[in-house]
Structure 1
Amino acid sequence: MEESRRDDSLSNVAEYSVSEISLALKRTVEDTFGHVRVRGEISGFRGRHSSGHCYFTLKDDRARLEAVIWKTTFAKLRFPPQEGLEVIATGRLTTYPGSSKYQIVIESLEPAGAGALMALLEERKRRLAAEGLFAEERKKPLPFLPRVIGVITSPTGAVIRDIIHRITDRFPVRVVVWPVRVQGETTGAEVATAISGFNALSPDGAIARPDLLIVARGGGSLEDLWGFNDEAVVRATATSAIPLISAVGHETDWTLIDLAADRRAPTPTGAAEMAVPVKAELEANLARLSARLRGAISRDLDRRRQESRSLARALPSPDQLFALPRRRFDEAAGRLARALETATQRKRLHFNGMRLSIATLDRRLAQAQRDITQCGERLPIVYLSLVRHRRARFDRDAARISPRANLQRISILAERLKAAIGRKDRAVHLRLERARVAFDQTARLAESLSYKSVLDRGFALVRDAEDRPVKRAGDVKPGEALSLQFADDSMGAIATGKSSGVGRKGSSSPKEPGKQGSLF
């Protein structure tokens, strides 16, 4: 009796499938915890999955909670997840029936308090410093007097009015403002885009390329200034070709852009003072330097004038300078007249002493005859000597072209020819071997690409009466003679029946069951 009652009670309990239980739990959890904020430490984060989603765990000292961030949500996060970072995750709880687990689908993520932000900031600072983005040697000097200044800030705040007012008071120059949000999730991306945009401007474009950039914002908390700690902002600042002044926050505030900028200003007004000098001071300094230059030139002219007068007094008079050369000239002029008379008398005496006579001519003819006779006596001796010299050179040339010498030269040439023939044979053999290898490779490639290898796998090649390959059934007419080539032989066939239309372009009629075209 008791066993029958127990069986009746068990049969009254409703039965559920595993899927029904899982779906019921999923609905219960999602309805109860549709929107929650969970605080915990990120654990097991290994970066984004190949699908773009992120899977990790939120934990505290007593429990763990599975977490997931979908790909579309990850791109909108202000703070990407990092291993060991304590965060506050906002999302909804759900279950995963495949493993009987519950998890939180995260929609937004933020560090848990200022301590976590500082830890994240210090870690990012160390990583970027290791890349050399904060190195002093990367920083560029500021231009002394920029013609155009680009300001990246909010167009509606007091910061831009202070900067423009200060620049106008000191030295009016052209100011170009790139409006950005200085607080919020999009601050980092907008500031980085503005820096890159100013650097991309052309010097001759409609908007002049600035000579100096100022990134400015008023003071605020660490969360308010967090956009200027964005990694994209730091990299854009470090790679900017235009010198950049960072004026974010007050004197006690600091962000990563301050470390990467070429100069840090304590306030936006201080950045304007660094950007341009005071025009009145420059004019006063220029006037003072001009007065000093005029005084220096006047004093230098007076000094040189006095030195010239002193040198003039030390020089002798022109009469004293030319007295000695004038005396020497007068003495030379007196000696010249006497020298001309003496030379003329000496030449006249010499001319008078010269007398042409028959005896003198006879002596000269006799001397010339003796010279001719001596030359005639030496001529046979010289001729014989020349003949002996030519005969000796002829004998040397004859010995050089003797048959023995020719045989030696022919032997050397034969050896060279034999060596050349050997090299020719080796070259021809090597050339043939290379051609044989290339031919074998080409033959193997042609064999692998040939349709005959396909026939060995059970296929057949169909040709029409004109021996052309048939590619589609629609090209075959009933009663047409065909040729089928198999792997081993060919045979003829006659096409019968109708084509099924499968694979024919433009055919939409379905194949009737039991009716199929035939080739035999």
Structure 2
Amino acid sequence: MSDDSYVFEGPADEPAAPRDNNPPLSISELSFALKRTLEERFGHVRLRGEISKVNRHASGHIYLTLKDDKSAIDGVVWKGSARSLGIQPEPGLEVIVTGKITSYPARSSYQIVIETMEAAGAGALLAQLERLKGKLRDEGLFAPERKQPIPTFPAVVGVITSPTGAVIRDILHRIAERWPCRVIVWPCVVQGDAAAAQVANAIRGFDAMKAGGPIPRPDVVIVARGGGSVEDLWAFNDEALARAVAAARIPIISAVGHETDTTLIDFVSDRRAPTPTGAAEIATPVLADLRYTLADLDRRLTGAGGRLIEERRIRLRAVARGLPARPEDLLALPRQRLDHAASRLGSGLQRGVDRQTTRFASVSGRFGRALLDRVIERRTDRLSATRARLIPTLPRKLDQASVALSALTRALASLDPGRPKPGFARVEDSDQTWLTSATALSPGQAVRLVFADGAAAAHVDGDDAGSPPQRPARAAPRPPARLKAPPPGQGDLF
């Protein structure tokens, strides 16, 4: 059949539509066809590149971009794979990723779904380590003042390491030949993705033990691992593990790798050992050395005590040479002096009494009646002289005081408001309350005018046109009570 042939269907009188051998595809059909092709062709790839952008979504997925010097590709790490990555993606880190190529139809772009991620080389790992080290240093986790001292005589030593390696055997052998103590081993893997989490859990487990429990709490903990490459020791550069070491209350000795190897927990631990065997030596003393030291101290103490006794013996012998042969001779002279003083004591007391009696008799003669009479006579003369000086001036002073009092009495009478002076009057209301202000008056009010020679009633006709507005009347103070006349029979002082 040629390309321009027709196929008739249906009634003979209806022509059939021509068939197109290249039908159009929808956008979705093309996008999903490309998606299937990419996933079938590139179902498993390994890419090496530098991370340029990292976006951690709230859902737990990680979106990033991998690039080299010419090209770039988007990448995504699903939430389930993000927790098991060997390293955490950071901008500028060169990594090797494994995953499959797929497309995102909504944007017509392709991307890689990352399943595993590892550092591309030692340079990238060390760069990431330096950034993390600077972060923890700024937080103060490396400060010397926060490090705990290692106990001198530990009773229990905890060891976190692999139970099957040579490291645990070296540590146990070294501790056994140095110090008799109990060793508790917390087995865990020390390499790979799960190593950091297991070591951190072991540290927290030792730290959570209670003193006096069924399992004794370690006095010091050793975190140990043999040597290896940077990638092999990378688990001990984990941030979460470093923070667990820094937060531990038990002193921790880091013994990871050989002397030239350095990991992050070496900086946050309380002490770093060059090797696992060195950690055992730091954690425990040498019993033989302690015994030798104690024996040497005992020998020196015995020798010092002997020398001290001998020195005291020599000094005693030197002093004894100046002493008499018999102890009684030492007391003979003091006894003689005591007897002589005792014999003189009685006569001395009697002489003292006689001397005081004589002094008393001589002094008592001066204190007779004549002495008292002279004192009384002298005081009487002084009193007479004072009376003769004051009596002539007393009437004059009394006259002056009387004149002054009369003047004050007249001034008081002139100022008495109860007795107005001529030309003045006191205004009272019907209650005999004094009115001292025009604002207290109202038109038509009955008042009483009190003069010096009598009183008269009056009414207020009105207020002055220029007077200020009236204020509410206030009760004036009552006049002071007049002095009552003195009772009969009592004289007037004035």
> TM above 0.5, one fold?
yes
Identify the residue that residue 72 of structure 1 maps to in structure 2. Answer: 80
Determine the structure 1 residue equivalent to 2:26.
17
Structure 1: segments with no counterpart, 5+ residues: 347-520
Counterpart position of 1:220: 228
SS in structure 1 of the partner of residue 214 of structure 2:
coil
**Residue 31 (structure 1) aligns with:** 40
The CA distance in 1 between the partners of 2:49 and 2:352, in whole Å, is 131
**Structure 2: how far apart are the matches of 1:341 and 1:27?**
141
Residue 99 of structure 1 aligns to a residue in which SS? coil
Mapping of residues 286-435 of structure 1, within 5 Å: 286-314=294-322, 321-335=330-344
Question: 1:230 Cα shift?
Answer: 0.9
Q: State the alpha-carbon separation in 2 of the partners of residues 203 and 94 from structure 1.
A: 57
Q: Secondary structure at the match of 1:310?
A: helix
Aligned partner (choices 210, 214, 224) of residue 206 of structure 1: 214
Counterpart of 1:164?
172
The one-letter amino acid paired with 1:134 is F
Structure 1 residues 292-319: Cα deviation after superposition (integer angstroms, max 9, x where no partner): 1111111111111222232333456755
Separation (CA, whole Å) in 2 of partners of 1:116 and 1:108: 16
- CA positional deviation for 1:192: 1.2
Which residue is equivalent to 1:184?
Answer: 192
Give the distance between the partners of 1:292 and 1:337, measured in 2 at CA: 63
Give 1:211 deviation, angstroms: 0.9
CA distance in 2, matches of 1:48, 1:27: 27
Q: Which residue of 2 aligns with 1:112?
A: 120
The aligned residue for residue 81 of structure 1 is: 89
Take 1:339 and 1:125, find their aligned partners in 2: how far apart are those partners? 98
Residue in structure 2 matched with residue 448 of structure 1 by the alignment:
none
How many residues matched?
381
Q: How does 1:256-275 map to 2 (within 5 A)?
A: 256-275=264-283
Provide Cα deviations, 1:441-467, integer angstroms capped at 9, x if missing partner: xxxxxxxxxxxxxxxxxxxxxxxxxxx
User: Please, which moves more after superposition, 318-327 or 54-63?
Assistant: 318-327
Please list the CA deviations of residues 36-67 of structure 1 after superposition, one character each: whole Å capped at 9, or x if unmatched.
1111111122x412222222211112211111
Alpha-carbon spacing, 1:234–1:338, altered in 2? closer, same or farther (3 Å): closer
1:219–1:334 distance in 2 versus 1, CA, 3 Å: closer
Q: Distance in 2 between matches of 1:306 and 1:174?
A: 53
Give the drift of 1:169: 1.0
* 1:259 counterpart SS class: helix
**Distance between the aligned counterparts of 1:129 and 1:339, measured in 2?**
93
Task: Pick the structure with more helix per residue.
Answer: 1
Instruction: Flag the 1:14–1:293 CA change in 2: closer, same or farther, 3 A.
Output: same
Q: Tell me the CA shift for residue 336 of structure 1.
A: 5.1
* SS of residue in 2 equivalent to 1:308: helix
> Structure 2, unaligned stretches of length 5 or more?
6-16, 356-494
SS at the partner of 2:253?
strand
List 4+ stretches of structure 1 deviating above 6 A: 339-346
Q: Which residue of 2 aligns with 1:500?
A: none
Find the aligned partners of 1:341 and 1:119 in 2 and give their Cα distance. 110
Q: What is the one-letter code of the residue matched to 2:27?
A: V
Question: How far off its partner does 1:324 sit?
Answer: 4.7
Q: Residue 308 and residue 26 in structure 1: after superposition, are their counterparts in 2 closer, same or farther (change >3 A)? A: same
Q: In structure 1, what is the Cα distance between the partners aligned to 2:134 and 2:350? A: 109
Match of 2:443 in 1: none
Whether 1:146 and 2:154 are equivalent positions in the alignment is yes
Amino acid at match of 1:202: K
Between the aligned partners of 2:346 and 2:68, the Cα distance in structure 1 is: 132
Give the deviation of 1:338 after TM superposition: 5.4
Judging changes above 3 Å, is the alpha-carbon distance between structure 1 residues 341 and 235 closer, same or farther for their aligned structure 2 residues?
closer
Work out which of the residue numbers 220, 232, 242 in structure 1 matches 2:250: 242
State the match for 1:399 in structure 2: none
Q: Which one-letter code corresponds to 1:49 in the other structure? A: H
Percent identical residues: 59
Q: Read off the aligned partner of 2:26 and give its amino acid letter.
A: S
Q: TM-score, normalised by structure 2?
A: 0.65
Tell me the SS of whatever aligns to 1:142: coil
- Per-residue displacement from partner, 1:356-380 (whole Å, max 9, x unpaired)? xxxxxxxxxxxxxxxxxxxxxxxxx
Out of 235, 252, 266, the residue aligned to residue 260 of structure 2 is 252
* Residue deviations 1:297-352 (CA, integer Å, cap 9, x gap): 11111111222232333456755654554344333444456578989999xxxxxx
Partners of 1:9 and 1:115 lie apart in 2 by 66
Cα RMSD after superposing both structures: 4.3
SS in 2 for 1:44: strand
TM superposition shift of 1:10: 9.9
Output the CA distance in 2 between the equivalents of 1:258 and 1:344.
96
Instruction: Name the amino acid aligned to 2:30.
Output: I
Partners in 1 of 2:352 and 2:232 — Cα distance?
Answer: 117
Q: Is 2:53 aligned against 1:44?
A: yes
How many Å apart are 1:261 and its aligned residue? 2.1
What is the SS of the residue equivalent to 1:258?
helix
Instruction: Say yes or no: does 1:56 pair with 2:56.
Output: no
2:143 maps to which residue? 135
Q: Which residue of 2 aligns with 1:442?
A: none
Shift of 1:80: 1.0
Do the aligned partners of residues 97 and 268 (structure 1) sit closer, same or farther apart at CA in structure 2, a change above 3 Å counting? same
